[in-house]
Structure formats: C-alpha cells, structure tokens
Structure 1
Amino acid sequence: MLTFDEMRADVARVVHEAPEDIDPDENLADLGIDSMRAMRLLMAWEERLPGLDYGAFMEEPTLSGWWAVVQARQSAGA
C-alpha cells in the first residue's frame, strides 16, 4: 500500500523541499525530477506496491498523474 502523502513526501525529499510545497499538478521535471530520480522513486515504491507500470509513470508529468497510476494498480490488486 502506498499513499499520496507518502509519495509527495518522497518527491519532496528528493528535491529538498517541504511536502506542502509540492504542487501535485506541477510538472515534475520543473521541480528537478529527472529520469534517474524518477527511477529511484519508482523502484522504492515498487518494493511496497509490486507490479507498477513504469511506462505509465513516464507518460505522466505530475504527481497527480503518478498518483492516478498508483491508484489504478492498487485497485487492480485489491
């Protein structure tokens, strides 16, 4: 199980910001999330939620989009 707040905190930690400063609809690249940082986040999240679709994450440029991918996976696994 993975929550939106956990994801937001993880993204914030990577870009050295407070979680509340992360706008869920801002482009993650604009925050400093490059492909390597994204892969590190996804690998950490996959430990808690196996079967994540990495390609789906790469199509979504925002935390809100990433959360939608996670919600779909969690719903499919329920």
Structure 2
Amino acid sequence: MTTDDVRAGIAAVLDVPASDIADDDNLLDHGLDSVRVMSLVEGWRAGGAEVAFVDLAENPTVEAWTALLSR
C-alpha cells in the first residue's frame, strides 16, 4: 500500500481533499475519530492488510500508517 493509497482512504472517511493531509499531520487534528479509524481498519483488512486499531492509534500519521500497512 502506498502513501497515496493511505492518504486517499483517510481523506475519503474525513470527506476532505487528500491534498489537505500531510504525511506527518496528526490525523486526530483533522477530525479522525475511533469510529472512522475502525472503518479504515475494516476496509484495509478486507483488502488483505494485517493491521489493528491499536497499531494505528499509537501514531496517527499517514507516514506511520503507510509503514504499518506496507509490512
């Protein structure tokens, strides 16, 4: 999964342009909440990613999430 893929998924659940989200932005500052994170987790798991809510909550940035989802 690429950085652009992760950013696009986040932008979609937040209903904002992907260009508004920088790699190192704290996603909580953009309004990302636990319900939306779980929605992302479910979608990414459906696509084959092995990721847990706790993993994402530890460091809520595009950069960190891309690293997790790319393993």
With normalisation by structure 2, the TM-score equals: 0.85
Pairing of 1:10-21 with structure 2 (within 5 A)? 10-21=9-20
Larger fraction in helix: 1
Aligned residue pairs total 71
Runs of 4+ aligned residues of structure 1 deviating over 6 Å after TM superposition are none
User: Is 1:71 paired with 2:57?
Assistant: no
- Give CA deviations for 1:27-76 in whole Å, capped at 9, x if unaligned: 1110010011001011101111242233211211211111111122xxxx
- Name the SS of the counterpart of 1:52 in structure 2: coil
Correspondence 1:42 to 2:34? no
* Shift in CA distance, 69/16, structure 1 to aligned 2, threshold 3 Å: same
TM-score by length of 1: 0.78
Question: What letter corresponds to residue 3 of structure 1 in structure 2?
Answer: T
Structure 2 letter corresponding to 1:42: V
The percent of aligned pairs where both chains have the same amino acid is: 34
